[in-house]
A = this chain, B = another copy of it.
């Protein structure tokens, strides 16, 4: 399902990242980084919610808006019942829609907002996501204390809060079109190989987007997925070729960009979590776009729609990807 927009712009963004991202190559591009995992809060969940809320307040400040001038907040995260978003929304006091498509939530939010702004149903919107490495470890994987070894294909949940301020006011980056994805499940059950789980969903959405817009991949200066990791990225390229006869060249994956995979061995196959793709896009990629080094970018956020419950029941892991086309204003 593809939409074309005439009047939607991401005017401002805010990116706040945690200690591992601070040590990564994109550190200078983030608006703010933290040295540790608590940010003055007592628990990982409350810390994550603070990140999301802080990124909203930061984007408000950049856009020179007060909370009461914002029509809508759309937010999502990985915590059960998306409490990072819910508790932040409670403090923020902006009309709120909670969303969940795992790590595809960032683009899901941008699409819902863009549809409403393009038709003048709302005048502006803040779209936010968050993730927290230790919050995710606690909820999804081993107990943190355990420190069990992981396979190389595992990804490392990024710690961050990322917000975008969208309106019909012409400034920043234009949202040109978007494609809502369909859930894809090729039967993979390995929660430590999310790149393999999500690559087919990403491929399908890229294919649908190119088909619906009658474009070739080289229409875009960059097609960027988030977050497949180093193995998933190769799987995606192979799968695009064999399944759809499409050769991806100007392609990258945010999981492999946010960390230095040579030096930061702890992150295994790269970054993940809803915050990873927007942390990279809203900071580093938007900087390249504003400098004219990239004009057209297709951001494809990918999400694995599993839970520990369903993985323990030996079900395979469904995944989804949503795509959004971003352009430098002429």
Contacts and interface: CB of A to CB of B under 8 A. Distances in A.
Contacts of A43: 313
Interface string A64-104: 00000001100010111111001101101111111111100
A320 B180 CA distance: 26
Contacts of A307: 79-81, 83
A144 B6 CA distance: 53
A17 to B, nearest CB: 23
A310 interface: yes
Contact of A45 (B80, B115, B139, B309): B309
Nearest to A102: B81
A210 interface: no
Nearest to A78: B81
B96 A98 contact: no
Nearest to A81: B307
B318 A89 contact: yes
A57 interface: no
Nearest to A120: B119
A96 to B, nearest CB: 5
B102 A108 contact: no
Interface string A176-200: 0000111111000000000000000
Given A81-B307, A306-B81, A94 B3 contact: no
Contacts of A310: 45, 83, 87
Contacts of A119: 115, 119, 121
A43 B180 CA distance: 30
B80 A309 contact: yes
Given A1-B72, A3-B121, A122-B1, A183 B112 contact: no
Highest count of chain B CB atoms <10 Å: which of A72, A98, A184, A308: A98
A104 to B, nearest CB: 9
Contacts of A308: 80
Given A89-B318, A121-B119, A305 B83 contact: yes
A116 B95 CA distance: 18
B83 A80 contact: no
Contacts of A108: 97-98
Given A81-B307, A309-B80, A99 B98 contact: yes
B182 A93 contact: yes
A149 B320 CA distance: 41
23 contacts: A78-B81, A79-B309, A81-B307, A82-B100, A86-B306, A87-B310, A87-B315, A87-B318, A90-B184, A90-B318, A93-B182, A93-B183, A96-B101, A96-B181, A96-B320, A97-B101, A97-B108, A97-B111, A97-B180, A98-B101, A119-B119, A119-B121, A139-B309
Interface of A: 1, 3, 42-43, 45-46, 71-72, 76, 78-83, 86-87, 89-90, 92-102, 108, 111-112, 115-116, 119, 121-122, 139, 180-185, 305-310, 313, 315, 318, 320
Given A1-B95, A90-B185, 9 more contacts: A45-B310, A83-B309, A87-B305, A89-B320, A90-B318, A95-B181, A96-B101, A115-B116, A139-B309
